Amino acid sequence: MKKGIYSSDMKDNNRFIIQKIKQDIIRVLSEKGLELFDMTLRSERGGKVLRITIDKETGPGIEDCTEASRAISAFLDGEDNIVPLDKYHLEVSTPGLERPLRSQQDFVRQTGKKCKIITVNKDESGRKSYTGKIDSVDDSKVTLYVEKESAAFEISLDNISKANLVVEF
């Protein structure tokens, strides 16, 4: 079997599995007061690796990861799971200190914190990158205050290519 075909088939199978278990994982996490931030399934040596990133409004901690791991494992290994994974390794983590900001809700939660935003399109001055504190958020834009320039910039949510928190030391 050609490697390219094999790899493609494995990726499609992994996508299928993710689609089938995603709602159940969301339910399991919700019962623990947690949210699903991201989920990937990769075929690696020795089996599949299911990586789940959890979140919650106050920020998840190590105890949340432990509790989520136990609950997800119980579900995946239980009879209620209609898509059994033969051999899998589960990794549960948090989005981290420099977490990505991917939705309007993420920006709202992080209001007052420093972040970096890269836009899809340049502004009138040719700028695509902004680093500052999230001042406010509405349905269509984020207002970022850039202290070095003593200026606020309104950035359309539709124009954000990438955004993440910036840790201040």
Residue type, 114: K
Where, residue-wise, is CATH 2.30.30.100 in the chain? Answer: 104-165
Residue limits of CATH 3.30.300.70 in the chain = 3-93
Would you state the pLDDT for residue 3?
Answer: 38
Structural element, H or E, at residue 48 = strand 47-55
What is the C-alpha to C-alpha distance for residues 65 and 100, in angstroms, rounded to an integer?
18
What pLDDT does 48 receive? 87
100, 164 contact by CB (below 8 A): yes
6 has a pLDDT exceeding 50: no
Q: Is domain 3-93 annotated with CATH 3.30.300.70? A: yes
Beta pairing class for 47-55 and 88-93: parallel
Would you say domain 104-165 falls under CATH 2.30.30.100?
Answer: yes
Residue type, 101: L
Asked whether residue 87 carries a pLDDT value surpassing 60, the answer given is yes
DSSP-derived secondary structure letter, 106: H
Q: How far is CA 96 from the centre of its chain?
A: 10
> What's residue 13's pLDDT?
82
CA distances from 125 to 122, 128, 129, 130, 150 (A): 7, 9, 11, 12, 17
How does pLDDT run across 30-59, given as a tens digit for each residue? 999 999 999 999 988 878 899 999 999 888
